[in-house]
């Protein structure tokens, strides 16, 4: 690889990390070790909280006006859409069609250690309980209980995780992204992290 190519790769990485750092600084709150993959489109980031050891897959589309909380240890696959506001389309005093300028805000809450499969859509107002799994392609229109495995449109509970195994791993702090990455990938390269924290 030529020196020029190496320089370009280094520069692209630097720009990308700076962009992420700025983005994370603008959130309502951000934990450590947040993997934010490319292609995200996130509105009102000041209404978004992301916990530690989280993975936000490619092309996340999230409208956060109504408030979005993503817990610790959450893994979101690619192409997921999260909505926290509906257009006002059905009130007595509706001003225009199909909807008017007003929005109905409904927060979305994603509990700790939830795994969301690819191309899931989450509708405003939904809470996904701790440890739940949402199958690929699901449209989540109602709350999902903790430890449930849910799928389909509208998403329905298919089964439940093994609670005993879940609680044991939780008590031992066996969180996948914490184990896989021993440095904070949110903003730093491993070498920078080691230099700063000597971990």
Ligand X SMILES: CC(C)(COP(=O)(O)OP(=O)(O)OC[C@H]1O[C@@H](n2cnc3c(N)ncnc32)[C@H](O)[C@@H]1OP(=O)(O)O)[C@@H](O)C(=O)NCCC(=O)NCCS
Binding to ligand X by residue 137, rule CB under 6 A?
yes
CA distances for 47 relative to 64, 108, 186, angstroms: 6, 11, 19
Angle at 104 between CA 98 and CA 106, to 5 degrees: 135
Is residue 77 a contact point for ligand X (CB under 6 A)? yes
Binding mask 9-48 for ligand X (x = CB under 6 A): ----------------------------------------
What are the backbone angles phi and psi of residue 139, rounded to the nearest 5°?
A: -115, 110
- Does the active-site annotation cover 142? no
Catalytic residue (one of 6, 22, 87, 156)? 87
Q: Is-contact 85 63, C-beta < 8 A?
A: yes
The CB-of-5 to ligand X minimum distance in angstroms stands at 31
| 149 near ligand X, rule: CB under 6 A | yes
Residues 102-121 that bind ligand X (CB under 6 A): 117-118
User: Between residues 74 and 85, which has the closer beta carbon with respect to ligand X?
Assistant: 74
Residue 53 binds ligand X (CB under 6 A) = no
Of 46-54, 83-91, 149-157, 184-192, the segment contacting ligand X by CB under 6 A is 149-157
Residue 136 within binding range of ligand X, rule CB under 6 A:
yes
Cite the active site residues: 87
């Amino acid at each position: 690889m030529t020196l020029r190519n190496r320089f370009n790769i280094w520069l692209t990485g630097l720009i990308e990390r700076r962009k992420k750092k700025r983005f994370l600084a603008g959130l309502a709150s951000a934990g450590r070790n947040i993997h934010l993959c490319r292609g995200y489109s996130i509105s009102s980031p000041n209404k978004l909280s992301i916990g530690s050891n989280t993975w936000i897959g490619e092309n996340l589309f999230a409208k956060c006006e109504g408030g979005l909380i993503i817990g610790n240890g959450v893994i979101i696959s690619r192409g997921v859409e999260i909505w926290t506001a509906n257009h006002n389309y059905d009130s007595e005093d509706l001003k225009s069609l199909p909807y008017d300028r007003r929005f109905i805000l409904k927060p979305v809450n994603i509990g700790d250690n939830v795994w969301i499969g690819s191309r899931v859509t989450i509708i405003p107002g939904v809470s996904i309980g701790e440890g739940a799994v949402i199958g690929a392609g699901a449209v989540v229109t109602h709350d999902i209980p903790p430890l449930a495995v849910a799928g389909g449109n509208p998403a329905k509970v298919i089964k439940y995780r093994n609670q005993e195994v879940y609680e044991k791993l939780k008590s031992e702090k066996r969180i996948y992204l914490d184990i896989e990455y021993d440095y904070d990938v949110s903003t730093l390269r491993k070498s920078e992290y080691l230099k700063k924290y000597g971990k």
